[in-house]
Amino acid sequence: MKNMMNGAAVCAISLAFASQAAATEWNASVWGKRRAFTEHVEKIAELVSEKTGGEFTINVSYGGLSKNTDNLDGISIGAFEMAQFCAGYHADKNRAITVLELPFLGVDTLKEEVAVSRAVYAHPAVAKEMAQWNARMLMTSPMPQYNLVGTGEPRDTLDKFEGMRVRATGGLGKAFEAVGGVPTSVTSSEAYNAMESGVVDTVAFAQHAHLSFGTINKADWWTANLNPGTVNCPVVVNIDAYDALSDAEKTALDSSVDEALDHYLANYAELLARWDSVLAEKGVEKVMFTPEVIAEFKTKAADPAREEWIKDMEAQGIPGQELYDLVVTTLEKERASN
């Protein structure tokens, strides 16, 4: 009986270890704090756990694993299995997707942002470039058009942009530079301090970031309709980690992307719906640009930036014209289907 009990105990322990070994645990590196920008990462972690009965879990870390500018590097060496990053932080590492950061692309809604991002992410040139970092595109982090908050007198004409020190990365930075601004690419986490210390006069963010990083609290005014463009921030997974998943785990992850993005869009819609009340509550003036000023900005910034980007990409062996055309045709198809 004693031997039988010992055998049963050993069997139970062995099964427990086997069950434990079968569980898959991933770490996802993001930054800041939980906000509209990270809701789809939180949601996909929740969905994956639900669909696998807790056998596949994703731990979301806000800055505990890496700096935001180093997330792609962390993915490349397998320091963590999932990460979010923004293309403008290191345009040289993710050249192909910077087409999505060109100024005045004409993307009007978050749904359109999802559509164009998906199309570009699926392009072979993007997959090839990401593979160099052992990264596989999972989903985008759709953001509305960026706008400025600033201190002092509102800058409501292009001549007032001359000498304006602006926190803006990637294509947005070049757009403001084209009209006399002086862009600086401090990270989102550093933007408030840069504004408070006077390093910058203005900060270009989407609404959620102005709230999350506190720049709205330093603002005297907000440009409601400048809409020069946005940044593109993918969520990627480590290729080796993805390949190591079971078929059931891959299905749980891949099938959760649409649900996670739907949750993100619904959550962001609530934020946009209350944005005017946030401005009123904080005493921030809403600045509206005339159509003529916006047209002038577009002429000075959009066309030259696009042509320069295409030429630069083609010189590096990346199909710049093809990627830009893909954005245009995807927008047309998305609008035709609505």
What pLDDT digit, counting tens, does each position of 137-174 carry?
Answer: 999 999 998 999 999 999 999 999 999 999 998 888 98
Asked if residues 117 and 101 have their Cβ atoms less than 8 Å apart, the reply is no
Asked if residues 262 and 111 have their Cβ atoms less than 8 Å apart, the reply is no
Which residue reads 């062995």 in tokens? 14
pLDDT at 6: 55
Ramachandran region, residue 122 (left: φ > 0; alpha: ψ -120 to 50; beta: rest): alpha
Angle (nearest 5°) at CA 33 between 27 and 34: 75
Low-confidence ranges of the chain (pLDDT < 70): 1-21
Which phi and psi angles does 35 have, rounded to 5°?
-160, -175
Structural domain boundaries in the chain: 25-90+106-142+232-271, 147-230+277-336
Q: Can 25-90+106-142+232-271 and 147-230+277-336 be said to share one CATH topology? A: yes
Tokens standing for residue 75: 């993915």
Helix (H, G, I), strand (E, B) or coil at 233: coil
Q: How far is CA 95 from the centre of its chain?
A: 15
Options 3.40.190.170, 3.90.600.10, 3.30.70.20, 3.40.1280.10; CATH for 147-230+277-336 is: 3.40.190.170
Which phi and psi angles does 60 have, rounded to 5°?
-90, 120
pLDDT at 19: 45
Sheet holding 56-62, edge to edge: 56-62, 24-30, 82-84, 235-238, 135-139
Give the fold, CATH level 3, of 25-90+106-142+232-271: D-Maltodextrin-Binding Protein; domain 2 (3.40.190)
Ramachandran region, residue 58 (left: φ > 0; alpha: ψ -120 to 50; beta: rest): beta
pLDDT at 7: 52
